[in-house]
Amino acid sequence: MKWQDGTRSNPAKCREKDTGRFEIVARDGQARIGKLHTEHGILQTPCLLPVINPNIRTIEPREMWDKYGIQALITNSYVIWKHDKLKDKALAEGVHSLIDFPGVIMTDSGTFQSYVYGDVEVGVEEIVKFQNDIGVDIATMLDVFTRPDMTFSEVEKAVDETVKRGQISIDAANGTMINGPIQGGLFPELRAKSAVEMSALDFSIHPIGGIVPIMEQQKYRDLVKIMLACKSNLSPNRPVHMFGCGHPMLFPMLVALGADLFDSAAYVLFARDGRILTPWGTERISEIEEWPIIMPAICNYSPAEVRAMDKQERTILLSKYNLEVTLQEMSRCRQAVRDGTIWRLAERRSHEHPALREAFLWMVTNPARSTMDPLLLDEISASKETGEQRGKWEENWDWLVNSQHSPRNGGESWGGIDTHHRPHVEIARRRLFARWKSRKSGDVIIFHGASAPWRERVGDLVERICSLDNEIFVQTPLGLVPWGLEDLNPWAHIEGPDWLWKRKPDYAWVQRELSRLGIHDRKIITVDISDTEDLHNRVFDLLEIKAMDRTPELKKRAQIVDKLCVLNNVDLDDAIELCKDSTFVMSRTGRIRNMIDAEGLHLFSPRLAEGGISITVEGARKLHALRKQSTPTGFITDDYSFHPGEGPAWVVVDEDAEPFVAQGRNVMHGFVLACDPWTRPGEIVLVVNSDGKLLAIGRSQSTAKELSTFTKGIAIKVREGCP
């Protein structure tokens, strides 16, 4: 709470049993808004921990707390340990008093000093014990820094030595939260090894170490490679900290890849040097007449006035300015995670700096990915030609895609070629190709030339021809979509220029799309619907048929079948059987509101907002009864396939949670015993007990690996209990 005199009250301690726990409260793919529970408050992530040099104070930590609402900072225990005055005061009064900061204090261990100066004279156990003695919230072990110029075997030795020091350091921390840094230099396989081995130890947080020189050299492509290799192999219930990363330009991309904490002295180091940070790069105060961003620190001064100040005053002012810009970009990232737009923010930022763009393109243009269209854009082919083979690291992209949810509310705003590579677009397409099945053997009809809603133009026509043996698709800028999914996002709601819709079907492209949908060697009939004049007759002529009567129920059933298959993983024959003889309650605008089965039970309700489908308790019971395989008994955490036809994922909860869940309460982490490997955030799951009895229907907030590791927070948001 902020008081009238501008000070803020001290933080409330977290609940004792929660100390050190991390929970996710909102997510967008691998990006997450989290809460880290500590004795000096519950830290909201992602966030920046400003670096405080205990010897040189540019912005007072107290001011950071009161004025900027900074909840956590990082300082260096080795610097404190080396200076007797600081050491004695820290040991006598504690580090919070030494620094005069009431929030979370993380300390580093001296590893970075050993990288800069060659060696440090403190012991592995000694430095952790010291951090514990001075009362830090989060200590750091003395890891072995891996430089980008080191050979594979040198890096491997450093990784092994760091792992070897791990348990000794955890023991020396004696219960204090401790950082277990991931090393591995430029070698993704060593990063992965480090991540796996450090995850096996009882660390609280995993910083990514050895990245400062990589960032200094703007090798951002290596940085994202490292990030993917580390993150996909780390235990997801531990926050990930980017050691020494404080340039706001990097935040969106790294947050999108799952970074939770950042620290940096950049705000002050750059200020000393007369440089200002912006989300698109760095500018020199000596070269500007206008501020790129107006911030409180400088709003009463022009750049010329700041240039005229003495060095100390200018450094303080520019440090504050840099800190404000940095905090602003971090807030922007958090909001984007909440809004489901973090990837778009990273995508936009990637256009602002060539090295960032290179990194971004490396990530999204993987030649081995089968579902994306290999559009021959210059920049993409150029990036492939750098010769870099992604090899076995492609699965790391699957790790990212697999955590995305789709369909999403709102329009997909067109961002050029990048739109195809958004991970949530990719999961929508992967799921479509894996789960949708053709039911007709005749010619293929492709409508093109207009944006959604297509039903207004051709809905009546489809009702007349849907009884024929033709498969009907719509051409969209994101690929072909079967008619049954005509209102499903992202295909149904793309905000972009008109020409996107005017493109004539390209035969080779259509063939590729159809073959991804499992359709080969069929005659293709394309129908331009930009002009609906005489459309019915045009199509009847093309199909060589006479006028036909409408069969609206057939069309509606086919739509529900497609949604059940693609969105809920239902087997095609089962979906057809469920929808047999069903009837429909319609909205005033002629869209399906409820599907009632042959026994009169309301089973499903398509969602009008994004084209998804809601399942009632009766619907859940029907889907539950269709299950052919046994109840899951554990967690398979690296299976990114779609298991077509095996139904909605099952999540098994323990008997303590059973009565609560059956009454409609959420499933909390720590109570999940097992789940199907295709459990994904945003997808509907059936919650069962270990005998397979249905308890509830809900929406997973988590991947299988998260369900197997988290101990705090909501695992499954229950929609309805099934008592």
Q: Does 321 bind ligand GUN (CB under 6 A)?
A: no
Candidate residues 65, 78, 130, 145; the one interacting with ligand GUN per rule CB under 6 A: 145
**Strand pairing class (104-108; 72-76):** parallel
Which one of 28, 66, 108, 222 is the catalytic residue? 108
CB-nearer residue toward ligand GUN: 262 or 604:
262
Contacts of 591 (CB under 8 A, 6+ apart): 487, 606, 608
Residue 533, both tokens: 């004049």
DSSP 446-497: EEES-PSPTHHHHHHHHHHHTTSS-EEEEEETTEEEEGGGTT-TTTT-EE--
78 binds ligand GUN (CB under 6 A): no
CB-wise, 34 or 180, nearer to ligand GUN? 180
Tell me the window of 140-148, 359-367, 391-399, 627-635 that interacts with ligand GUN (CB under 6 A): 140-148
How many residues are given for the chain? 723
- 109 vs 237, which CB is nearer to ligand GUN? 109
Backbone angles phi, psi at 473, to 5 degrees: -130, 160
CB of 362 to ligand GUN, least distance (A): 23
User: Which of 81, 101, 130, 243: binder of ligand GUN (CB under 6 A)?
Assistant: 243
- Residue pair 194/234 in contact (Cβ under 8 Å)? The answer is no
Closer of 158 and 514 to ligand GUN (Cβ): 158
Contacting ligand GUN (CB under 6 A), which of 46, 184, 236, 244? 244
Q: Does 404 bind ligand GUN (CB under 6 A)?
A: no
Residues pairing with 207 in the sheet: 241
As a three-state string, the secondary structure of 595-655 is EECCCCCEEEEECCCCCCEEECHHHHHHHHHCCCCCCCCCCCCCCCCCCCCECCEEEEECC
* Candidates 108-116, 333-341, 358-366, 555-563; binding stretch for ligand GUN (CB under 6 A): 108-116
Binding track, positions 204-223, relative to ligand GUN; x by CB under 6 A: -----xx-x-----------
Residues 6+ apart with CB under 8 A from 448: 474, 475, 501, 503, 504, 505, 526, 527, 528, 529
Q: What is the 3-state secondary structure (H, E, C) of 137-163?
A: CEEECCCCCCCCCCCHHHHHHHHHHHH
Stretch of 89-97, 125-133, 137-145, 427-435 lying at the interface with ligand GUN (CB under 6 A): 137-145
The span from the CA of 596 to the CA of 602, in Å, is 4
> How many whole angstroms separate alpha carbon 53 and alpha carbon 47?
19
What is the rounded CA–CA span in Å between residue 379 and residue 351? 12
Among 23, 66, 137, 143, binds ligand GUN (CB under 6 A): 143
What would the x/- binding string for ligand GUN be over residues 256 to 285, using CB under 6 A? ------------------------------
Cβ–Cβ under 8 Å, residues 469 and 554: no
Least spacing, CB of residue 144 vs ligand GUN, in Å: 9
* Beta carbons within 10 angstroms of residue 340's beta carbon: 20
User: Which residues 148-187 are close enough to bind ligand GUN by CB under 6 A?
Assistant: 181
**Contacting range for ligand GUN; rule: CB under 6 A; set: 107-115, 284-292, 351-359, 365-373:** 107-115
109 scored as a contact of ligand GUN (CB under 6 A): yes
Interface with ligand GUN (CB under 6 A), residue from 38, 75, 111, 169: 111
Specify the DSSP class assigned to residue 18: G
Among 108, 137, 398, 426, binds ligand GUN (CB under 6 A): 108
Rounded least distance, CB 205 to ligand GUN, Å: 12
Q: Is 549 a catalytic residue?
A: no
Q: Is 140 in the site for ligand GUN (CB under 6 A)?
A: yes
Dihedral Cα 166, 167, 168, 172, nearest 10 deg: 100
User: Residue 243 or residue 393: which is nearer to ligand GUN going by CB?
Assistant: 243
Active site residues: 108
Q: Which residues bind ligand GUN (CB under 6 A)?
A: 108-109, 111-112, 140, 143, 145, 181, 209-210, 212, 243-244
